[in-house]
Amino acid sequence: MKIKKPVLVVGMGISLLVGFPGVLGHFLTGAQDWAILSVVIAGSGLWFSKKYLKPAIPAKLSPIVIGKMEVVEKISETQKLLKTLEAEVSREVLFTLEERLNKLVFSLDRSVVQAVLTGGQKVGKSSLKNVLELSKINQQIDWLETDSLLKETTIDQEVIKYLSLKADLILFLITGDLTESEWAIIQQLLEKQVPLVLVFNKQDQYLLEERVLILNKLNERLVNVISPSDILSISAVSVPIVVRKIQPDGSIQERIDYLPEEIKPLEIRLKQRLIEERQKLICSNTWRQVTQLKQEAREQLNQVRKERALPIIIKYQWLVGLAVFANPLPVVDCLVNATFSTQMIVEINDIYKQKLLPKHIKIILVTLSELIVKLGLVELTTQSMLNLLKTNSVTYLAGATIQAVSAAYWTNIAGLSVIEYLQEQTEPLSAESPLDLKRLKDKFQQIWSRSQQKEILSNFLKQGLSRIPSGVV
């Protein structure tokens, strides 16, 4: 019998890559280094995607234990956030968020657990749901079956999100050893802390020793990831078997018998989990949903604030540009000294209701200027601008114009970095949570590298030339 290729992933590698830019930032000094690094990271991603699927012992993924108190606290944090939104977002948006939150408050006290049956195509989801609905445990659980998860070659993140928000408990069905795609989905669900029972269905299709072998392999490979008590083998349907009986006269008589479905181990485990963890399962799911709602509320708030902050950046970037055109200054000095860039941050700070003091603003501007110098970004960007001008058949441009557009450009990047920084600043600045300069620098580098895209830079240049006297010959 063909057993599908098993797969497991080394989870730690992923977290290593995620932490990569921040760590290496200390060692890399030039923008070229960063460019090289991007290629290296992209390359290692390719290598990783080909190689990582070797069988290996995965990193421990222990679920977070969430109690009712924590959920209640999260709900009240979210209620507070919605109060803040009141003055800034539309009534409709606020109403929808409030309604959803109220539903979650009620949902915390429900007693019926929502179990979701999922897995690949034809693994027996409907069959299992049918027998479970007839079982005694049905009174305490609502069953929901999803479409097959493995129709597409890539994992749909929306589906993972849906499952993590919908299910108190997932029954993930497989019909043999884990395949690559099944493991990839399971891993993502576990990373989202969704409780999961792995159900090896259609065990009747295997000889007893094969079943044992598969179960052992699953246990061995998922050690520290899924508890052995949550890896179960079952048959969701009754299956026909041919029974041959030798008659006294030596002839053979055949008849069809039915092996009943075998879901006892699953029923026992589900019952046990309900007794021990019912409230925890419900709390964890409500916590995931409130977290999601809070994130959406914050995104809404950030969106309206950004819409208000962007015109401020645009206003000040051109003011800086014009000032530099009239009185050329090295780019770095204009960021640090210009009253315009300071005023820009003051106004952004007001929109984000933060408490940046003049000394903070000074630190922000000095930090960003130093970073620009350290990474040699001025030369790099000026060169990109000059190249773009050449391709646009502008052969000569006064040095002062380029300098002015550059100054406007750096004001823009600084303003956007401050926006991104403040968007993530959930607590007001205080002695306990002072400015996080590393985060600020990371934001700045991300925005800078995004803005280096030809189209974005060329657009900026076009606007700059229409606002700042060009001196084009």
235 touches 201 (CB < 8 A): yes
Residue nearest to Mg ion (CB): 126
Asked whether position 411 contacts ligand GTP by CB under 6 A, the answer is no
Q: How many residues sit close enough to ligand GTP to count as binding (CB under 6 A)?
A: 16
Choose from Mg ion, ligand GTP, none: what does 201 bind? Cβ within 5-8 Å by kind. Answer: ligand GTP
User: Of 74, 125, 305, 441, which lies in the binding site for ligand GTP, with binding defined by CB under 6 A?
Assistant: 125
**Rounded CA separation 336/342 (Å):** 8
E strands, 196-259, are 196-200, 231-233, 239-246, 252-259
Q: Residue 144: helix, strand or coil by DSSP?
A: strand
User: Of 124, 176, 195, 321, which lies in the binding site for ligand GTP, with binding defined by CB under 6 A?
Assistant: 124
Asked whether position 118 contacts ligand GTP by CB under 6 A, the answer is no
E strands, 146-190, are 169-174
**Range in contact with ligand GTP (rule: CB under 6 A) among 43-51, 124-132, 216-224, 323-331:** 124-132
Output 119 or 464, the one with its CB closest to Mg ion: 119
Residues 224-243 that bind ligand GTP (CB under 6 A): 235-237, 239
Output 148 or 292, the one with its CB closest to Mg ion: 148
Question: What is the Cα 180 distance to its own chain's centre?
Answer: 21
**Rounded CA separation 149/435 (Å):** 44
Q: Residue 219: helix, strand or coil by DSSP?
A: helix
Angle among Cα 367, 369, 373 to the nearest 5 degrees reads: 115
Residue 169 Cα distances to 37, 75, 270, angstroms: 41, 21, 10
Output 126 or 426, the one with its CB closest to ligand GTP: 126
Output 101 or 198, the one with its CB closest to ligand GTP: 198
Choose from Mg ion, ligand GTP, none: what does 454 bind? Cβ within 5-8 Å by kind. Answer: none
Asked whether position 294 contacts ligand GTP by CB under 6 A, the answer is no
Choose from ligand GTP, Mg ion, none: what does 169 bind? Cβ within 5-8 Å by kind. Answer: none
Output 205 or 224, the one with its CB closest to ligand GTP: 205
Print the binding letters for residues 183-202 with ligand GTP: x by CB under 6 A, - otherwise: ------------------xx
Output 78 or 127, the one with its CB closest to ligand GTP: 127
Spell out the long-range contacts of 353-361 with Cβ–Cβ below 8 A and sequence spacing 24 or more: 353/84, 353/428, 354/422, 354/425, 354/428, 354/429, 355/428, 355/429, 355/430, 356/429, 360/429, 360/435
Output 115 or 385, the one with its CB closest to ligand GTP: 115
Residues 155-174 that bind ligand GTP (CB under 6 A): none
Choose from Mg ion, ligand GTP, none: what does 11 bind? Cβ within 5-8 Å by kind. Answer: none
Task: Pick the closest to residue 177 from 209, 147, 204, 210 (CA basis).
Answer: 210
Output 126 or 459, the one with its CB closest to Mg ion: 126
**Range in contact with ligand GTP (rule: CB under 6 A) among 119-127, 219-227, 272-280, 340-348:** 119-127
User: Of 79, 135, 140, 148, which lies in the binding site for ligand GTP, with binding defined by CB under 6 A?
Assistant: 148
Give the tokens for residue 388. Answer: 């773009």
Output 66 or 149, the one with its CB closest to ligand GTP: 149
Q: Residue 410: helix, strand or coil by DSSP?
A: helix
Q: Residue 361: helix, strand or coil by DSSP?
A: helix
**Rounded CA separation 303/293 (Å):** 15
User: Of 4, 60, 83, 122, which lies in the binding site for ligand GTP, with binding defined by CB under 6 A?
Assistant: 122
Choose from ligand GTP, Mg ion, none: what does 237 bind? Cβ within 5-8 Å by kind. Answer: ligand GTP
Residue 292 Cα distances to 101, 205, 404, 425, angstroms: 11, 41, 43, 18
Choose from Mg ion, ligand GTP, none: what does 164 bind? Cβ within 5-8 Å by kind. Answer: none
b/e burial code for range 60-69 (CB count within 10 A of at least 16 → b): ebeeeebeee
Kind of pairing between the strands at 231-233 and 252-259: unpaired
Asked whether position 126 contacts ligand GTP by CB under 6 A, the answer is yes
Smallest separation (angstroms) from ligand GTP to the CB of 56: 29
Instruction: Using CB under 5 A, list all residues that contact Mg ion.
Output: 125-126
Give the tokens for residue 25. Answer: 């930032």
Output 122 or 362, the one with its CB closest to ligand GTP: 122
User: In degrees rounded to 5, what are phi and psi of residue 50?
Assistant: -85, -35
Asked whether position 150 contacts ligand GTP by CB under 6 A, the answer is no
Smallest separation (angstroms) from ligand GTP to the CB of 120: 7
**Rounded CA separation 221/236 (Å):** 24
Residue 224 Cα distances to 192, 219, 307, 436, angstroms: 16, 9, 46, 35
Give the tokens for residue 146. Answer: 């999803």
Helices 68-86 and 264-326 sit at what angle, rounded to 10 degrees?
30
Give residues in contact with ligand GTP (CB under 6 A): 121-127, 148, 201-202, 204-205, 235-237, 239
